[in-house]
Structure 1
Amino acid sequence: MNSEKQHYTVSVYTENNIGLLNRLSAIFQRRHINVESLNTSASEIEGVSKFTILVNVTESQIKKIIGQIEKQVEVIKAYYHTEEDTIYQESCIFKIKSDLLFEERQIQNIIKESNARIVTVNKEFFVLEKSGRRQEIELLYRELNAFGIMQFTRSGRIAVTKDEMKISTMLQAFQN
């Protein structure tokens, strides 16, 4: 078993119950583990939610965490995946003064090179959207920050596995 820390993406399939987020975060808090990102959304199965949690831990820690998560009544199934096992993205949006778009030629080049997309433009500001790996988003942030960012927000990781997930078959049975 690998004793080195690495990033794991945790997928938790659950019934959508109030209070579950607090109990899940307590599992990490008790172990002094920082959650790097958290996303919750609908899953591929109607009525089932999916938490996608990014943590940097050892393999033995992640196995214990999964065991604790699965003890929660509402949790149908929890999995952990390495970086190599997943296809993942993050999204972000930037709000920037409109003057810069027209006065700073370099801003237009940064937008083009980063494959960011302009969502809206008005007299005061424009909004840029970018999806990609965290490193791409951080690079774009650094480049734009030199000109001034009015607002910035980034989503948590969203991920799918490269291999087929058996959860769909399991969840079909859960629904019946």
Structure 2
Amino acid sequence: MSQSLYNEQNGQDPERLFTMSVLTEDKSGLLNHITIIFSRRKINISSLNVSTTEVAGVSRFTIVVHSTREQAEKVVKQIRKLVDVLGAFLYEEDQVHYQEIALYKVPTKIFMGGNKIEKLVRDNGARILVIEEDYIVLEKTGHKDETSDLFKKLEPYGVLEFVRSGRVAISMSKRKTETFIKELEEIKTNLLLQ
């Protein structure tokens, strides 16, 4: 029996995957401040992605961790206290839409032996990104288990390189980032006036 299942059956908070979405001002050095919070609590980050948002000057950190809800909530509360953080949100797996991208470099010669590899690529929803004399780069977008599955299927043919991005996620909530930022600015302005 896994420790997670044992904990759940005994009323303990089981470890599972959580996605944290952190909206920040676009400032340098913030990544270090955020990752220190995880290090202090000895929580490993499974994946991390930082990108721009639809609001100019605002970045979004998408952080995936494997922890208990209690640990994850504490981390989010600590992140919210950072000066340049505008908001931090915690999501369960069923509360976000997410994808990852994987790239596979395989020898060109494996495509010379017939349609078997081309069918494998097509059946797994991958596409050819680059064709060079010695290698071909394939691209697959999907969840981690899907990109890992394609890697296992390609492995017998000789994968020269494999890389997978961090998770990119959007919450299922109807909240708009721009609206949230405006509400936050109004609250801060009202607090200053009081």
Q: TM-score, normalised by structure 1?
A: 0.93
Structure 2 gaps, min length 5? 1-10, 187-194
Q: 1:121 aligns with which of 119, 126, 131?
A: 131
For residue 146 of structure 2, the aligned residue among 100, 116, 136 is 136
Instruction: Give the corresponding residue for 2:7.
Output: none
Pairs aligned (count): 176
Query: How far is 1:168 from its partner?
Result: 2.6
* 1:93 corresponding residue in structure 2: 103
Give 5+ residue unaligned stretches, structure 1.
none
Classify the secondary structure of the residue corresponding to 1:3.
coil
Alignment of 1:3 onto 2:39: no
SS across alignment from 2:133: coil
The whole-number CA distance in structure 2 between the counterparts of 1:138 and 1:16 is 33
Aligned counterpart for 1:20 among listed residues 25, 30, 33: 30
Q: Distance in 1 between matches of 2:129 and 2:107?
A: 14
How far off is 1:63 after superposition?
A: 1.2
The higher relative CO (CA closer than 8 Å, separation ≥ 6) is in: 1
C-alpha RMSD of matched pairs (Å): 1.8
Q: Which residue of 2 aligns with 1:153?
A: 163
Counterpart AA for 2:22:
V
In the aligned structure 2, how far is the partner of 1:163 from the partner of 1:19?
29
> CA contact under 8 A between 1:91 and 1:154: conserved in structure 2?
yes
Larger radius of gyration: 2
Aligned counterpart in structure 1 of residue 180 of structure 2, from 165, 170, 175? 170
Distance in 2 (alpha carbons) for counterparts of 1:139 and 1:104? 22
Identity across matched positions, percent: 35
| 8 A contact 1:2–1:59 mirrored in 2 | no
Residue matched to 2:75: 65
Partner AA of 2:179 in structure 1: T
